[in-house]
Chains A and B, each alone.
Chain A
């Protein structure tokens, strides 16, 4: 179990649960009505969700967002001939309020046009990291005010969807660098974009290891019928594939293995982890197939249905992001990533030498070196010492 999520820190002995006595109730009291109360409160307040899409241009990010939320978030960007590609990475955010069955969701989507488009892509992740940290900083500043708002507006990025181009080989150095840095600051969900250019076998190979045989656990995964998988490899691949890549470089994408709480979580999440990264296709046009109106891409050799599990894994992505793990994404952002950022920021101001004038704390540096992952903590002795100082001096 991850120490950060489970056991309280040793200095919080006051906060540990008191000795509890389990009691049997002799009849119905009505405690479970609190669930309804929760629901009513949640519906009244509404929900917030912030998602960021990162990837090179032309991978279908805007289309994917439109497909996910079934509405025109943006006009699909199609740069004309005369328009120059953006020289630097710019981040664009757009916010919408969507409602379904009485549930209001304030959705903010941040796009990153220009990512990885230049010739020299060195440090192209810095603006993105800066933006994410800026949101954390805003929340932190709101939280440490003396008179704070009843409900602090949450602009922190809850999920970052990273679009991997469908090369069929392995993750590129740019991908690896980016993922390594970002997975420690934000929940990253990598997807294989434009997956309609890969065949089913190529997809599997891209995703999993090089050699596998029928009868292994891979063959029995969910929807994929054994016949298609075990038909032998048509394109034996030469290098390690994405999951191995991720493992080799220590990249923990969402759902993070170290944050699984109990057996149910583990089972559910390992199923998801098997399918990461999802091979998705985005489309916002509707076509008629077999008398039904479906979202899809029409090509000369057929219509690729976006919502058909046999064609692409878009439904899995949608379910993960919206239907089952949205709250979990927000929780992990709040409890793990934001806390890491906070620890880092609060420590930073005391690592600096105590001079006659203190360092201006207001602007957070754009390229904050990503704090250590969910397991490690920066400088525990300093933390403990400061916490003790804090309690002595202030109160």
Chain B
């Protein structure tokens, strides 16, 4: 009994200690509760919402991008051949709705048009990078809105990039290397060797090894199939070893044996698309769609998008920690920035105003000066006029006096001429008087 109690007390003590801890601990249930249906509930909701998958195909014109996508999804997406003569690389996106049993998939295929066709290929990869960034940007904008509807949002971010390598058998082209290097931090890249029926088996092996070593030595991070979940770890690991996949695409059906299979018919034989000995198409389809679609979407959202978001927000000067390393909320720093900008705007407005006022003043002064000058001139002219006028008046007066004098003289001379016809004597005296008087 004594030993029993001795055993009991440490146990009780242990329990109490455990109960004191507020951390999560496992609890054993005594019956069936029923939440094992939780994954099904989740799946049902996803079915209702539908799925979204966006594939970007990068490769030269005519390398077989559209055909491969057609073969992958077993449909004929309406598309015609693109020309080789585009001056710039463009991206063309098409969205399709596919349905298989109860799963609805919104598939967006983005094709690069005119990639590798130009003579000067320096600008080739920039439009692709810009496009990927634009999709991230659109999502970021939606996420930062006040009133947002993320569950309704059509996700256009690229989930996977299929990079088509031409089957030269030698090595990666410089353009390929540069493009992949600029894309590897933004999107999951899966390199594929297109038109693999142009390479023989031995050459293919060497080619693959060469490609992978080139990628590794240049630091290009391609997408590795995840190996952390036991159910798919093995198959993913083995598939990782087969990268890059050598694929052949074809929607034409050829009779082989007694079945119709998708194949390409040559005079020397038939290349069957779905035959694992002939090409890796089945592996690609398996990996891309059946096993890792969800992981591709997850990686895009949690790694590539977060990286973009972090970079973008840091660009605008927002940080998580303040000057004393205290965690600052995004809101606060944003508010701070906003006030800063607002203050700056105010200041600029003030400056502009002052400048304007000053200019007005100057102009006014100049104008006043001009006015004064004009006034002075006017006065001067006026005075001159007056003087002129006076002088002229004077002259006129003199002239008039002269005229009067002259007319008088004329008159007297006329009278004097008429004198001889009058009586002499008295009139002479009168004439003389008159003459004298006129001369006085």
Among A25, A99, A360, contact of B100 (Cβ-Cβ < 8 Å): A25
Residues of chain B with a CB closer than 8 A to A395's CB: 137, 141, 312, 316
Output the least CB separation between B404 and chain A (Å): 93
Interface of chain A residues 366 through 395 with chain B (CB within 8 A): 377, 383, 386-387, 390-391, 393-395
A150 to B307, CA, bound (A): 12
Q: Is the CB of A96 within 8 A of B25?
A: yes
B105 at interface by CB-CB < 8 Å? yes
Q: Is the CB of B29 within 8 A of A71?
A: yes
Interface stretch among A30-38, A115-123, A128-136?
A30-38
A264 to B320, CA, bound (A): 45
Interface of chain B residues 322 through 379 with chain A (CB within 8 A): 329-332, 334-339, 341-342
Residues of chain A with a CB closer than 8 A to B27's CB: 69, 71-73, 96-98
Instruction: Please report the total number of B residues contacting A with Cβ < 8 Å.
Output: 99
Shortest Cβ distance from B343 into A: residue = A356
Q: Is the CB of A24 within 8 A of B75?
A: yes
Q: Is the CB of A328 within 8 A of B152?
A: no
Residues of chain A with a CB closer than 8 A to B2's CB: none
A70 to B28, CA, bound (A): 9
Known: A35-B47, A96-B25, A323-B35. A146 touches B42 (CB 8 A): no
Q: Is the CB of A105 within 8 A of B35?
A: yes
Known: A18-B93, A23-B75, A322-B34. A103 touches B100 (CB 8 A): no
Residues of chain A with a CB closer than 8 A to B146's CB: 342-343, 346-347, 383, 386-387
A245 at interface by CB-CB < 8 Å? no
B85 at interface by CB-CB < 8 Å? no
**What per-residue 1/0 map shows which CB atoms of A239-271 lie under 8 Å from chain B?**
000000000000000000000010000000000
Q: Is the CB of B33 within 8 A of A37?
A: no
Among A14, A318, A323, A324, contact of B141 (Cβ-Cβ < 8 Å): A14
Known: A16-B154, A146-B319, A327-B41. A100 touches B35 (CB 8 A): yes
B17 at interface by CB-CB < 8 Å? no
Residues of chain B with a CB closer than 8 A to A318's CB: 33-34
Interface stretch among B186-194, B198-206, B292-300, B414-422?
B292-300
**What per-residue 1/0 map shows which CB atoms of B144-171 lie under 8 Å from chain A?**
1111110111101000000000000000
A227 at interface by CB-CB < 8 Å? no
Instruction: Please report the total number of A residues contacting B with Cβ < 8 Å.
Output: 97
Q: Is the CB of B95 within 8 A of A37?
A: no
Residue among B74, B145, B146 with the highest chain A CB neighbour number at 10 A: B146
Q: Is the CB of A18 within 8 A of B313?
A: no
A301 at interface by CB-CB < 8 Å? no
B120 at interface by CB-CB < 8 Å? no
Q: Is the CB of B289 within 8 A of A21?
A: no
Residues of chain A with a CB closer than 8 A to B25's CB: 96-97
Among B24, B231, B319, contact of A96 (Cβ-Cβ < 8 Å): B24
Known: A23-B98, A29-B73, A395-B141. A148 touches B30 (CB 8 A): no
Q: Is the CB of B335 within 8 A of A361?
A: yes
Residues of chain A with a CB closer than 8 A to B47's CB: 35
Residues of chain B with a CB closer than 8 A to A43's CB: 39
Among A100, A324, A358, contact of B41 (Cβ-Cβ < 8 Å): A324
Q: Is the CB of A21 within 8 A of B145?
A: no
Q: Is the CB of A39 within 8 A of B41?
A: no
Known: A34-B294, A146-B330. A29 touches B33 (CB 8 A): no
Interface of chain B residues 46 through 77 with chain A (CB within 8 A): 46-48, 51, 72-77
Interface stretch among A5-13, A171-179, A204-212?
A5-13
Q: Is the CB of A9 within 8 A of B289?
A: no
Known: A70-B33, A147-B310, A326-B35. A8 touches B152 (CB 8 A): yes
B400 at interface by CB-CB < 8 Å? no
Residues of chain A with a CB closer than 8 A to B330's CB: 144-146
Interface of chain B residues 277 through 321 with chain A (CB within 8 A): 285-286, 289-295, 298, 302, 306, 309-310, 312-314, 316, 318-320
Known: A21-B95, A35-B47. A100 touches B29 (CB 8 A): yes
Output the least CB separation between B108 and chain A (Å): 8
Residue among A38, A68, A326 with the highest chain B CB neighbour number at 10 A: A38
Residues of chain A with a CB closer than 8 A to B151's CB: 331, 335
Output the least CB separation between B154 and chain A (Å): 4
Output the least CB separation between A2 and chain B (Å): 12
Q: Is the CB of A34 within 8 A of B103?
A: yes
Residues of chain B with a CB closer than 8 A to A298's CB: none
Residues of chain A with a CB closer than 8 A to B142's CB: 12, 14-15
Output the least CB separation between B66 and chain A (Å): 14
Q: Is the CB of B306 within 8 A of A148?
A: yes
Output the least CB separation between A248 and chain B (Å): 30
Interface of chain A residues 316 through 354 with chain B (CB within 8 A): 318-319, 322-328, 331, 335, 339, 342-343, 346-347, 349, 354
Q: Is the CB of A105 within 8 A of B96?
A: no
B36 at interface by CB-CB < 8 Å? yes
Known: A18-B93, A96-B24, A395-B141. A37 touches B295 (CB 8 A): yes
Instruction: Summarize A's interface: helix, strand, loop or mixed.
Output: mixed
A42 at interface by CB-CB < 8 Å? yes
Among A12, A37, A100, A361, contact of B332 (Cβ-Cβ < 8 Å): A361
A40 to B235, CA, bound (A): 15
Known: A14-B138, A383-B146. A100 touches B33 (CB 8 A): yes
B43 at interface by CB-CB < 8 Å? yes
Residues of chain A with a CB closer than 8 A to B105's CB: 31, 34
Residues of chain B with a CB closer than 8 A to A44's CB: 229
Residues of chain A with a CB closer than 8 A to B293's CB: 31, 33-34, 37
A362 to B229, CA, bound (A): 40
Output the least CB separation between A292 and chain B (Å): 12
Residues of chain A with a CB closer than 8 A to B90's CB: none
Q: Is the CB of A97 within 8 A of B336?
A: no
Known: A20-B96, A146-B314, A147-B310. A30 touches B289 (CB 8 A): yes
Output the least CB separation between B401 and chain A (Å): 90
Among A20, A27, A33, contact of B289 (Cβ-Cβ < 8 Å): A33
Among B34, B45, B51, B99, contact of A327 (Cβ-Cβ < 8 Å): B45
Known: A29-B72, A145-B330, A361-B335. A322 touches B35 (CB 8 A): yes
Residues of chain B with a CB closer than 8 A to A18's CB: 93, 95, 108, 154, 156
Residues of chain A with a CB closer than 8 A to B229's CB: 40, 44
Beyond A37-B292, A70-B31, A100-B33, 6 additional contacts (C-beta under 8 Å) are A29-B74, A32-B103, A39-B39, A96-B24, A98-B27, A349-B331
- Interface residues of chain A, those whose CB is within 8 Å of chain B, are 4, 6-9, 11-12, 14-35, 37-44, 47, 68-73, 94-103, 105-106, 141, 144-148, 150, 261, 295, 318-319, 322-328, 331, 335, 339, 342-343, 346-347, 349, 354, 356, 358, 360-362, 377, 383, 386-387, 390-391, 393-395
Some 9 contacts from A to B, beta carbons below 8 A apart, are A19-B95, A31-B289, A40-B232, A95-B24, A103-B38, A261-B48, A349-B331, A358-B336, A358-B339
For the complex of A and B, 5 pairs with smallest distance between CB atoms: A327-B41, A37-B294, A33-B290, A101-B36, A30-B290
